[in-house]
Amino acid sequence: MEEEGLFFNSCGNWIKNYLQQQQIQLDTFLKSEAILSSEKPIVVVTSGGTIAPLEKRLVRYIDNFSTGNRGAGAAESFLEHHCHVIFLYREGSCCPYGRFFPKHCLEILHTYSLDGDHLSDNGKLIVPFQKLAKATEQSRILLLTFQTVTEYLYALRQIALSLNPFGKRVIIFLAAAVSDFYIPESELPEHKISSTISQSHEEDEQSSQSSFLLRLYHVPKCLGWLKSKWAPQAYVVAFKLETDANVLLEKAKHTIDKYGVDVVVANELTSRYEHVQLVNQQQQVIDRYSNDKTIEQVIVQNILDMHQRKG
């Protein structure tokens, strides 16, 4: 596809270093005894928000609000179902088993530092740490990072292409909050945009000096390429997050029709920790609520069932 080529040839050499390092880690992981001797699904979980820089030397950027909780929780559940997980996440967002570390760390150390007593946390931190250490040791999880939407899309393509030989065993679980718009590298100013109007951005001649226009470009939708070219046999789970419940299901169905993904997990911003809707290729809508399990556990259980039925 022409658009694909255009996008993936538009970046400077810096992206090559980023990809090379990931490819080495990926190759090692995929050749491990743990992967080769098992038939359990290999799951790519993407997580956290991508950023769209407004300058080449990164000072300002457009960000998506995303803690990475959903992706991290889902990765934990996949691991508990004995899957192998490639966790592609935004630097600094939540990690599997590390979701509550910063908060709990501080609580625990605060208590510790004040009374000088020994560390005792009733397993809040120690147990998750041991689980993460064990999964890493057993080569059941690989952690890879991104920051910008460009890094994310290049990384996703590289991972999907590398997993293609594993065919139907692969699940791609796209929980990351990917930017919808960005400024291509060729149009980015080298330096910080001036707070008086910058040359490299559109001026608005009619209004007063107090406003200016910024030209944003739509990020290419890679879902179609993922299903048609990069990993056609993989089971692809996409996410839709909307603040307006009225348009949510319609958009979820549109994503299935247009890109051929297998399932869309539809979330409404305020209720997303209690309730999601799963839309499949038959346009069935399955409502799922968190009960005694977390919503991520419920989603993962359903996805694994659906993946197995499709087999």
**Cα–Cα nearest to 154, from 8, 272, 266, 296:** 8
Within residues 146-165, the interface with a copy of itself by CB under 8 A covers none
Q: Tokens standing for 275?
A: 């309730």
The Cα–Cα gap between 47 and 96 comes to 10
Q: Is 309 in the site for a copy of itself (CB under 8 A)?
A: no
Angle, alpha carbons 60-52-144 (nearest 5°): 110
Residue from 40, 81, 192, 272 touching a copy of itself (CB under 8 A): that is: 192
Residue from 55, 161, 224, 281 touching a copy of itself (CB under 8 A): that is: 55
Judged by beta carbon, residue 27 or residue 180, the one nearer a copy of itself is: 180
Judged by beta carbon, residue 37 or residue 113, the one nearer a copy of itself is: 113
Q: Is 2 in the site for a copy of itself (CB under 8 A)?
A: no
Q: Tokens standing for 102?
A: 């910063």
Cβ–Cβ contacts within 10 Å for residue 199, how many? 8
Q: Is 6 in the site for a copy of itself (CB under 8 A)?
A: no
CB of 55 to a copy of itself, least distance (A): 7
Q: Taking each helix axis from N to C terminus, what angle separates 69-80 and 126-137, rounded to the nearest 10 degrees?
A: 60
Judged by beta carbon, residue 139 or residue 198, the one nearer a copy of itself is: 198
- 3-state SS, one letter per residue, for 224-276: HHHHHHHCCCCEEEEEEEECCHHHHHHHHHHHHHHHCCCEEEEEEHHHCCCEE
- Could you tell me how many residues of this chain bind a copy of itself (CB under 8 A)? 55
**Cα–Cα nearest to 59, from 49, 48, 51:** 51
- x-or-dash pattern for a copy of itself, window 105-144, by CB under 8 A? xx--xx-xxx---xx-----xx--xx--x-----------
Residue from 20, 25, 31, 60 touching a copy of itself (CB under 8 A): that is: 60
Q: Is 199 in the site for a copy of itself (CB under 8 A)?
A: no
Angle, alpha carbons 172-177-180 (nearest 5°): 110
CB of 161 to a copy of itself, least distance (A): 25
The residue ranges that bind a copy of itself (CB under 8 A) are 51, 54-55, 57-65, 98, 101-102, 105-106, 109-110, 112-114, 118-119, 125-126, 129-130, 133, 177, 179-181, 190-193, 195, 202, 204, 209-218, 241-244, 269
